[in-house]
Amino acid sequence: MTRQKDNSKPQIQEIGGRVDLSLVNMDATKMASLVRTKQITCLALLEAHFDRVDALNPSLNAIIWQDRDGARERAAILDTEVAQGVFRGPLHGVPITVKEAFDFAGSPSTWGNPELAQNYPAQNSDVVQRYLDAGANLFGKTNVPLNLADWQSFNAIYGTTNNPWDMSRGPGGSSGGSAAALATGMSALEAGSDIGSSIRNPAHYCGVFGLKPTLGVVSEQGHSLPGWHTDIDIAVTGPMARSARDLMLAFELLAGPDRYSKDTWSLHCPTDLREDISDFKIALKLSDAACPVDQAYQDRLADFAEKLSKAGATVREIEPELDTSDYFNTYLTLLGAAMGFGISADAVAVERAEMEAKTTGVIRDIMTTRLNGRDMRHSDWMVADNKRRLARQLFDNFFQDWDILLTPVCASAAFPHNHSGQRYERALTINGAQQPEMQQLFWSGYSGVVGLPSAVGPMDFVGSLPVGYQAIAGHGKDRTALAFASCVENQICSFTAPPI
């Protein structure tokens, strides 16, 4: 049963005087250092986060479940261990939340779906367990869209999450609650999942960091519907953070096999110790005809590329020689197949008929391709998979010469709330024209369908809204993407807290 929020506060043993709420905007690495050096107790740190949640969450609605009593009990145990000189790991005592879809024993994993409102798993997901083993104190879960299938985070169970930079806009999805909680200091570290930019676009919209790892590097077990144990094609789980160094730390904690591959699995992601931007060779792809990008955002990316060049990096506009329109269709087909688990052919037929009655042009083409993947024969799936592997070869060859391929995360900064109709009926205004909101999936699939790692970090602002870069690296080169993000953080731009 869900524990209700408890606003009562126990007597806190504070070290160094009254807790300053500004500490919640520190990164998790710094918080863990304060705990380890006994400058603050685990319990005091937790209470500071509860104060922040009480102040901001009523308007943001990012954290949708909490177990304060359990978290306080864990904090007391963690403090006893500190006094004994015992530390569970690098996150000892750090208060965190995770995306609602990750199983955490005793908490709901509904995916925002009322049909799963009573789904309370008894076992932790692999991601949750790895954070707990590192000493993190998980006290809450963050909001998602229905079935994790939107770039806005709203559902009939928990309601709507707002963007902390502009309450009239969404924080992204499906890890939107995660990004909003991080940006505002309500949580020190997060975990998200990504099949269509569900880590990347919330990080971009809210001005935080996110990593879509190489496919298969972080376990998906426990991030699934009840009774489902098969990994979903293209989908990954990965860390979200307020700093690149936290992102690097979290990746090292989370990377590892699931129960089905632990006897044969080992990690072979090359180490990357570069600490200066001048050591990187960076390719640029700032636009594509398959998905128009807001000119103001493109300009910020171009300015960012200029800063990279001035810092000594080799920067050039070049990209893999792909037919990007055909490549986008390959992604949409395989995405449709991946998200078609448990859906009958009759249900797909109904969805297709409704879609065709409501759409024309580009969005009909996008949706038709996705729906064709929903109920395709396995032999047809293998044809699409072979096309993906041919594309992967092109990327592998490309990354022999380049460290990072820098691209947009999506088409624009965060867009206004729009919950009307089906997702495919919604549009964005890009450069003065109406474009299908789902057309942005092009930038999701560009690295996603071939399983490449992509780091997103804060870069600049369009008006008052943050925008980020997408740094794609070669297959298995997650640490290269992370090293790049760290260099950018240290030399060009880092996290800025929203004025809230």
184-223 pLDDT tens trace: 999 999 999 999 999 999 999 999 999 999 999 999 999 9
Compute the distance between CA of residue 210 and CA of residue 200 in angstroms, rounded to an integer. 6
Nearest to 476 by CA among 157, 253, 216, 297: 216
* Buried b / exposed e along 7-26 (16+ C-beta atoms within 10 A): eeeeebeeeeeebeeebbbb
Q: What is the mean pLDDT of residues 396-409?
A: 98
Q: Is residue 1 very low, low, confident or very high in pLDDT (cuts 50, 70, 90)?
A: very low
pLDDT in tens, 280-291: 999 999 999 999
Q: What is the percent of the chain with per-residue pLDDT over 70, rounded to a whole number?
A: 96
Length of the chain, in residues: 500
Q: Is residue 243 very low, low, confident or very high in pLDDT (cuts 50, 70, 90)?
A: very high
pLDDT in tens, 38-97: 999 999 999 999 999 999 999 999 999 999 999 999 999 999 999 999 999 999 999 999
Q: What residue has token string 């965190």? A: 96
Q: What is the pLDDT of residue 4?
A: 36
Q: What is the mean pLDDT of residues 459-477?
A: 98
Q: Is the pLDDT of residue 13 over 90?
A: no
Q: What is the pTM of this model?
A: 0.95
Q: What is the pLDDT of residue 341?
A: 79
Nearest to 414 by CA among 109, 144, 161, 146: 161
Q: What is the mean pLDDT of residues 161-176?
A: 98
Residue 314, classified by CB atoms within 10 Å of its CB into exposed (0-12), middle (13-18) or buried (19+), is: middle
Q: What is the pLDDT of residue 20?
A: 63
Q: What is the mean pLDDT of residues 257-266?
A: 94
Cβ contact 24:52 at 8 Å: yes
Q: Is residue 9 very low, low, confident or very high in pLDDT (cuts 50, 70, 90)?
A: very low
Q: Which residues, other chains included, contact 66 with Cβ-Cβ below 8 Å and sequence gap of 6+?
A: 3, 5, 53, 139, 140
CA distances to 129, 178, 224, 327, 391 from 447, rounded to whole Å, are: 28, 22, 23, 11, 10
Nearest to 474 by CA among 464, 462, 465, 483: 483
Residue 386, classified by CB atoms within 10 Å of its CB into exposed (0-12), middle (13-18) or buried (19+), is: exposed
Q: Is the pLDDT of residue 16 over 50?
A: no
Q: Is the pLDDT of residue 7 over 90?
A: no
Largest CA distance in the chain: 67
Plot region of 66 (φ>0 → left; ψ -120 to 50 → alpha; else → beta): beta
Q: Is the pLDDT of residue 21 over 70?
A: no
Angle at 470 between CA 499 and CA 476, to 5 degrees: 130
pLDDT in tens, 425-445: 999 999 999 999 999 999 999
Q: CB count, 10 Å around CB of 300?
A: 20
- Residue 169's DSSP bridge partners are 416
Phi, psi for residue 141 in degrees, rounded to 5: -130, 155
Q: Is residue 342 very low, low, confident or very high in pLDDT (cuts 50, 70, 90)?
A: confident
Residues labelled catalytic: 99, 174, 198
